[in-house]
């Protein structure tokens, strides 16, 4: 590890310190983070076996992986496999996310351009934002049925507010000096909006989109719990009723993957648009 050790190694005739050693000194997490995962999975596997925990309480990782493998090996349109259900859930998530956050962003933008509108609506927005909207899921399913629509509505409801609130905050936080600069140049409101206000609000908007992506997956699963014929949520319910805990965990892995893919997709766009933002730079580094 230490420099002295390296020098000794060099003196002993080694050409240069090994790749592994350099890696350990500069980016130890690349080695240590996967190592930790292996340790956790191994102790889970052997702990469960050793303590003879029934697999319907806590299955060992190996049987979760087997369940995952089996689910993925089914045909694309098989009701027993994961592909169909994952596709349905992903579809709901994408439609709901784009409509919900799009409308939230649009309204947040419009509201924040007019001071009277913002002052009037602020109380209600804050009040509604603090409500647990997910609790409305049963009513929404009652209204819109077991199909795609009810899930999309639930997701819209959940993703709408993060964007509304963050975009309003973003437009409010625009640096006064930048606005003064634009005014001093004789810019009109339209130019000020496109050249300064919108780009300045983008970091906030992306924070909202990140939040909305998580809520979208939650909304889809809860909607499917309440009432649906397809989707990963229904799959979890039916597996749970059959005490197929390993299966349930394997579906959870699929859901996690959906969340990660959404998050990564957003990051990709964010890096292109927000390369100039300090936050953006930090996130690229991480």
Partner 1 sequence: MDVAAGGRPTLDHPSAPTGAERASDDIIEISHLEKIFTTVRGERIHALHDISLSVREREFVTIVGPSGCGKSTLLKILAGLLPATAGSVRLAGTKVDRPRKDIGIVFQNPVLLPWRTVLDNVMLPAEVQFLPRAAMLARSRELLKMVGLEEFEDKYPMELSGGMQQRASISRALVHDPNILLMDEPFGALDAMTREQMNLDLQRIWLEAGKTVILITHSIPEAVFLGDRVVVMTPRPGRVLRLVDVAIPRPRPIDLMGEPLFGRLTGEIRRLLYGRGGHDLYLSAGGIA
| Residues found near partner 1 in the complex (CB under 8 A) | 175, 177-178, 180-187, 191, 195-196, 199, 275-278
Closer residue to partner 1 (CB): 119 or 181: 181
Whole-number Å distance between alpha carbons of 212 and 231: 20
Whole-number Å distance between alpha carbons of 184 and 88: 53
Judge contact between 171 and 108, C-beta under 8 A.
yes
Rounded to the nearest whole angstrom, what is the least distance from the CB of residue 187 to partner 1 in the complex? Answer: 4
Rounded to the nearest whole angstrom, what is the least distance from the CB of residue 167 to partner 1 in the complex? Answer: 17
- Residue found under tokens 């003196």: 11
| Other CB atoms within 10 Å distance of the CB of residue 73 | 11
Closer residue to partner 1 (CB): 14 or 279: 279
Q: Which of 186, 197, 176 is nearest to 114 (CA)?
A: 197
Q: Which of 33, 36, 42, 35 is nearest to 60 (CA)?
A: 42
Rounded to the nearest whole angstrom, what is the least distance from the CB of residue 270 to partner 1 in the complex? Answer: 13
Judge contact between 159 and 101, C-beta under 8 A.
yes
Closer residue to partner 1 (CB): 111 or 182: 182
Closer residue to partner 1 (CB): 128 or 179: 179
Rounded to the nearest whole angstrom, what is the least distance from the CB of residue 182 to partner 1 in the complex? Answer: 7
> What size, in residues, is the chain?
286
Rounded to the nearest whole angstrom, what is the least distance from the CB of residue 266 to partner 1 in the complex? Answer: 18
User: Which residues touch 64 (CB under 8 Å, ≥6 apart)?
Assistant: 246, 249, 250, 253
Closer residue to partner 1 (CB): 136 or 196: 196
Closer residue to partner 1 (CB): 132 or 186: 186
Angle (CA) 104 207 114, round 5°: 45
Rounded to the nearest whole angstrom, what is the least distance from the CB of residue 198 to partner 1 in the complex? Answer: 10
Rounded to the nearest whole angstrom, what is the least distance from the CB of residue 34 to partner 1 in the complex? Answer: 34
Closer residue to partner 1 (CB): 185 or 261: 185
Whole-number Å distance between alpha carbons of 262 and 141: 25
Distances (CA, A) of 274 to 173, 174, 181, 284: 16, 15, 22, 10
Closer residue to partner 1 (CB): 123 or 176: 176
Judge contact between 97 and 162, C-beta under 8 A.
no
Helices 61-73 and 28-51 meet at what angle, rounded to 10?
Answer: 100
Whole-number Å distance between alpha carbons of 194 and 230: 43
Rounded to the nearest whole angstrom, what is the least distance from the CB of residue 185 to partner 1 in the complex? Answer: 5
């Amino acid at each position: 590890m230490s420099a002295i050790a390296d020098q000794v190694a060099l003196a002993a005739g080694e050409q240069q310190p090994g790749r592994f050693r350099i890696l350990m000194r500069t980016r130890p997490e690349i080695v240590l983070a996967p190592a930790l995962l292996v340790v956790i999975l191994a102790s889970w596997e052997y702990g469960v076996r050793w303590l003879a925990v029934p697999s319907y309480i806590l299955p060992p990782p190996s049987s979760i992986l087997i369940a995952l493998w089996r689910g993925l090996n089914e045909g694309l349109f098989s009701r027993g496999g994961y592909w169909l259900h994952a596709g349905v859930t992903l579809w709901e998530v994408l439609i709901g996310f784009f409509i919900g956050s799009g409308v939230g962003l649009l309204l947040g933008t419009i509201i924040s351009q007019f001071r009277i509108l913002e002052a009037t609506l602020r109380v209600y927005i804050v009040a509604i934002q603090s409500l647990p909207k997910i609790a409305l899921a049963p009513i929404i399913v009652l209204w819109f049925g077991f199909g795609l629509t009810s899930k999309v509505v639930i997701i819209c409801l959940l993703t709408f507010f993060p964007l509304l609130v963050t975009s309003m905050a973003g437009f409010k936080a625009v640096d006064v000096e930048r606005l003064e600069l634009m005014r001093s140049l004789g810019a009109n409101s339209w130019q000020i909006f496109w050249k300064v206000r919108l780009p300045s609000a983008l970091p906030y908007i992306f924070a909202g989109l990140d939040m909305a992506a998580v809520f979208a997956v939650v909304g889809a699963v809860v909607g499917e719990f309440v009432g649906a014929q397809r989707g990963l949520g229904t799959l979890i319910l039916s597996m749970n009723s059959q005490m197929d805990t390993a299966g349930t965990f394997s579906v959870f892995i699929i859901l996690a993957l959906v969340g990660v893919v959404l998050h990564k997709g957003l990051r990709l766009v964010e890096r292109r648009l927000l390369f100039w933002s300090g936050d953006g730079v930090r996130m690229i580094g991480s």
